[in-house]
Structure 1
Amino acid sequence: MSPSRNPRRLLAAAIAACTALAGTGCSTTLQGNAVSVFADPFSVAGMPATDGPTGLRPDAEPPARDVEGTDGGEIDELAASAISDIEDYWAVAYEEAFDEPFKPVAELISWDANGFDGEFCGDDTYGLVNAGYCYGDRTIGWDRGELLPGLQRAYGDMGVVMVLAHEYGHAVGRLAALSKNDTPTLVAEQQADCFSGAYMRWVAEDSSQRFTLSTGEGLNNVLAGVISFRDPLLTEGDPDVGYDEHGSAFERLSAFQFGFADGPSACATIDLREIGQRRGDLPVLLPEDQTGELPVTEDSARSIVDAMGILFSPKTPPALSFDTDEAKNCVDARPSPPASFCPATNTIIVDLPGLQDLGAQSDPDDGATLVTGDNSAYSVLVSRYMLAIQQERGGVALDNAEAALRTACLTGVATVKMTKEVETPDGNTIALTAGDVDEAVSGILVNGLAASDVNGDSVPSGFSRIDAFRLGVLSDADRCFKRFP
């Protein structure tokens, strides 16, 4: 908000543990009954949102592929199992999607980035903390010394599987002639993200003989891993602009979700035009003279609320209070700190120290963690304003699962509206900047507050919460009310 490398991060960035998901106590989970495959807020792309075992099965089939250069250790065994499983999926799904036989990669190669005797794709592997698909000889390789163990620590077994499924996605894209020598990196990478999502759906459906994936916290952790491979935030004059571009966290999550929801056929539709349409007017680069961070203060919170009033023009705008006792005394809603909405008094109540903590900026050079910053806080504040908009419109409940996802959707609508500068009565100018959307989706995944109902309750699936937010980003308020009645 404003008044995945250097220039491209190595995958080593992902080795830091994602501790944020371990304590998702900022919002609670709603209980409810299924409505339909498409309208059920407790489903994940038509599947029940459940928690349960995630990772390598205790009785998993052994790997069907050998690995060159392996040390015979457990991490290479896990990687070989992952590739074997991914190939089990594509052996059937590829021909169904592309009407031609599937052809597995030629070879699997393991190395230790701390060793001196490895080679992959014609390069020395010393210091290569990475994984990749080599187009020249159709091989997939990985660093067993640092990368894969770090991924396993951060995101569990499925963190390793997710990265290898992405790399195999490059092989699939090339085999299907979707990815060619002149295909932009941005397109090839998001196609691979999409193919990875298609495979993960197969695992979540319990079709894999080697792995399991719950659609609750298991899938949430996989999504956290996808976020960690986002592009670094660059300024307009940065010489690395456009070089080796992979996409923002929002874009890469979207591509993954397309594959998970609709299968490999959805991946074939990803090209520069589709990415451009999905990106729309969302800012990608920071202006040279801006950090993209608006300090979280009473004045800035007032400016955000004023901007919402200008953009949505409610007949009775909600009041703004910084007295947290008002939230405690609300007769028809529980507090949802650090920002609450009381329907009875039409008031948004802000716990300013809590909002400031929520908006603390993560290290912009550290791609290993989920991204946080000012819009981690402001998206929550905006979501409470969206509850006021729902109350004024009438005809909808504010305290159920549909309300939670409707709020996420409307927060997405508000986010796009803020791509245009808004001048507030106090003389401030509010506008979305590059990185703000990634901060919002990270918060929606971790704590769900911007995707919660009037009591701060959300649905268990981060996938569903992000999907609702994206619907708002790509459509309008009327669509949110229709999708989540």
Structure 2
Amino acid sequence: MSRRHLGGVVVAACAALLIASCSTTLQGKPVSVFSDPFSVAGMPATDGPTGLRDDPAGPSRVVVGTDNGRIDELGRQAVSDIEEFWQQAFPETFDGNEFTPVKQVVSWDSDGFDEEFCGDGTYGLVNAGYCFDDNTIGWDRGQLLPALRKANGDMAVTMVLAHEYGHSVQHQADLVKPSTPTLVSEQQADCLAGVYMRWVAEGHSPRFTLNTGDGLNNLLAAMIAFRDPLLNQSDPEVGEDEHGSAFERVSAFQFGFTDGASSCRAIDTKEIEQRRGDLPVLLPDDQTGELPVTEQSVRSIVEAMGILFSPAKPPAVTFESENCADARVTPPVAYCPSSNTIIVDLPELAKVGTAEADGDGGGLVTGDNTAYSILVSRYMQALQHEHGGVALDNAEAGLRTACLTGVATVKMTKEVTTPDGNTIALTAGDVDEAVSGILVNGLVASDVNGESVPSGFSRIDAFRVGVLGDEARCFKRFN
């Protein structure tokens, strides 16, 4: 998001530092059979083991160039499992056509000089890939896969290889042509990885398990980490090897996990453009996309919400500690229905809204909009209170809040001029910052007491419903 004083220099705004354990998990039974907040894409939200089974089925592939270490064994099991899935699913999904496994599976150490993949040396190749020229799949055992496993577990490694194998699947299924944009090809592969992961989560894999709680959340975190870097409009890398934002890549994965391979077939340039809508992709050259969280900026965001949604009784804002008669006050921002007040703990919100110093794009995105998205979500609770007829203190309320925050996010793609002479507008990277916060701390998807459902998948899905829909859709789906 950006904020600028009219006639002045443009200063960017909206993103956040991710914090853990800021919300609690709701207990109880859901009331809507159509949108069960305690399920994940129609499956029970469960904890339990995730990763390579203690007694996995034997691998079916030989790895060329292997050092016979733990990482290569994990990769070999992953490719074997992915192939077993597609042997079954490919004919059923793609008009009875026969599935053909890749010709060779290759491992290399990116610190070594003696190996080759897809016709090139592998020194410095910290990557995994599918080579169309010789129908092979391979990975770096030196840096990439160990780092993935350390950060997000066995299934992050398996997901990356499922994505790379998705490129083989899409070629065999004629989903792509030489002229197909990289963006389309990559998001189709994200989607196909989601299809395979659903099979694992359902308990069908003889080698891996995946729970729909922390296990699936870790996969989404890895997907966010693989987002495109945030670029300015004049950067020479613009348009080169585009894979998609975190929001787009997570969405593609969720399509496959929820709706199966038919949803992957539907991903093309037109679909991505519709999904992207007016969400900004590039930063103007004179903006960074960041604005420190201050009392002035908080008031400007709240004023912008009032202009965009025009409530009959706009909520008041206070920066002082207050008790609330009908809700628990949870920092950094809370909404009190009885007084119709948004209570802001400014120092805590500022901490959340501080971008990490490294900014290397290697993990979850941080910045000011995870903070501002929390603020906006509490304004969305004020709108729900005024709307009436809905509870504010249950699981549906948390997901409805995330959905309405998605609606507000899209509304902010157009500049809003506030009475103090500022303009508020979304900037590139803001949606990814919100998505990271929804996954890690869940506050945007929390109810009036700061409680959220356990599944990051469900929280992000609710936010996406709002980004792609409107207020009526949020109230109808999460009733």
The TM-score range, normalised by the shorter chain, is over 0.9
> Contact 2:30 / 2:395 at 8 angstroms: preserved in 1?
no
- Name the amino acid aligned to 1:341: Y
CA deviation string 1:346-401 (max 9, x = no partner):
00000001100111113574121111111010000000000000000000000000
Instruction: Give me the whole-angstrom Cα distance separating, in 2, the residues matched to 1:37 and 1:77.
Output: 42
> Contact 2:51 / 2:210 at 8 angstroms: preserved in 1?
yes
> Contact 1:38 / 1:46 at 8 angstroms: preserved in 2?
no
Match of 1:439 in 2: 433
> Contact 2:384 / 2:390 at 8 angstroms: preserved in 1?
yes
Which of 195, 209, 227 pairs up with 1:230? 227
Q: What is the CA-CA distance between 1:35 and the residue it aligns to?
A: 4.7
Alignment of 1:60 with 2:56, yes or no, is yes
> Contact 1:114 / 1:145 at 8 angstroms: preserved in 2?
yes
Match of 1:269 in 2: 266
150-159 vs 34-43, greater mean Cα deviation: 34-43
- Name the amino acid aligned to 1:119: E
CA deviation string 1:34-76 (max 9, x = no partner):
5566321111000011111000000111211111111111111
Give the SS at the match of 2:324.
Answer: coil
- Name the amino acid aligned to 1:181: P
Give the SS at the match of 1:349.
Answer: strand
Residues 239-388 of structure 1 correspond to what in structure 2 (within 5 A)?
Answer: 239-324=236-321, 326=322, 329-363=323-357, 365-388=359-382
CA deviation string 1:178-237 (max 9, x = no partner):
122211100000000000000011000001010000000000000000000000001111
Match of 2:124 in 1: 127
> How many percent identity over aligned positions?
72
Which of 442, 446, 449 pairs up with 1:452? 446
Residues 401-440 of structure 1 correspond to what in structure 2 (within 5 A)?
Answer: 401-440=395-434
Match of 1:476 in 2: 470
TM, length-normalised to structure 2: 0.96
Which of 44, 48, 52 pairs up with 1:48? 44
- Name the amino acid aligned to 1:88: E
**Alignment: residue pair count:** 465
> Contact 1:321 / 1:347 at 8 angstroms: preserved in 2?
yes
Q: What is the CA-CA distance between 1:92 and the residue it aligns to?
A: 1.0
> Contact 2:30 / 2:396 at 8 angstroms: preserved in 1?
no
Q: What is the CA-CA distance between 1:32 and the residue it aligns to?
A: 2.0
Q: What is the CA-CA distance between 1:240 and the residue it aligns to?
A: 1.1
Instruction: Give me the whole-angstrom Cα distance separating, in 2, the residues matched to 1:131 and 1:391.
Output: 49
Which of 75, 83, 87 pairs up with 2:83? 87
> Contact 1:404 / 1:453 at 8 angstroms: preserved in 2?
yes
Instruction: Give me the whole-angstrom Cα distance separating, in 2, the residues matched to 1:38 and 1:106.
Output: 44
Give the SS at the match of 2:64.
Answer: coil
- Name the amino acid aligned to 1:96: E
Instruction: Give me the whole-angstrom Cα distance separating, in 1, the residues matched to 2:294 and 2:123.
Output: 48
> Contact 1:51 / 1:216 at 8 angstroms: preserved in 2?
yes
Alignment of 1:186 with 2:183, yes or no, is yes
Unmatched 5+ stretches in structure 1: 4-19
Task: Identify if the C-alpha distance between structure 1 residues 37 and 211 changes in structure 2 by more than 3 Å, giving closer, same or farther.
Answer: farther
- Name the amino acid aligned to 1:289: D
CA deviation string 1:383-440 (max 9, x = no partner):
0000000000000000000000000000000000000000111111100000000000
Instruction: Give me the whole-angstrom Cα distance separating, in 1, the residues matched to 2:327 and 2:31.
Output: 25
Alignment of 1:138 with 2:141, yes or no, is no
Instruction: Give me the whole-angstrom Cα distance separating, in 2, the residues matched to 1:298 and 1:154.
Output: 36
Residues 189-208 of structure 1 correspond to what in structure 2 (within 5 A)?
Answer: 189-208=186-205
TM, length-normalised to structure 1: 0.94
RMSD of the alignment, in Å?
1.2
Alignment of 1:461 with 2:458, yes or no, is no
Give the SS at the match of 2:466.
Answer: helix
Instruction: Give me the whole-angstrom Cα distance separating, in 2, the residues matched to 1:135 and 1:36.
Output: 46
Instruction: Give me the whole-angstrom Cα distance separating, in 2, the residues matched to 1:289 and 1:149.
Output: 38
- Name the amino acid aligned to 1:384: R
Match of 1:392 in 2: 386
> Contact 1:339 / 1:349 at 8 angstroms: preserved in 2?
yes
Instruction: Give me the whole-angstrom Cα distance separating, in 1, the residues matched to 2:57 and 2:357.
Output: 41
> Contact 1:2 / 1:431 at 8 angstroms: preserved in 2?
yes
> Contact 2:32 / 2:478 at 8 angstroms: preserved in 1?
no
**Displacement over 3 Å in runs of 4+:** 34-38
- Name the amino acid aligned to 1:471: V
Instruction: Give me the whole-angstrom Cα distance separating, in 2, the residues matched to 1:450 and 1:347.
Output: 17
> Contact 1:232 / 1:364 at 8 angstroms: preserved in 2?
no
> Contact 2:30 / 2:36 at 8 angstroms: preserved in 1?
yes
Match of 2:67 in 1: 71
Match of 2:6 in 1: none
391-400 vs 141-150, greater mean Cα deviation: 141-150
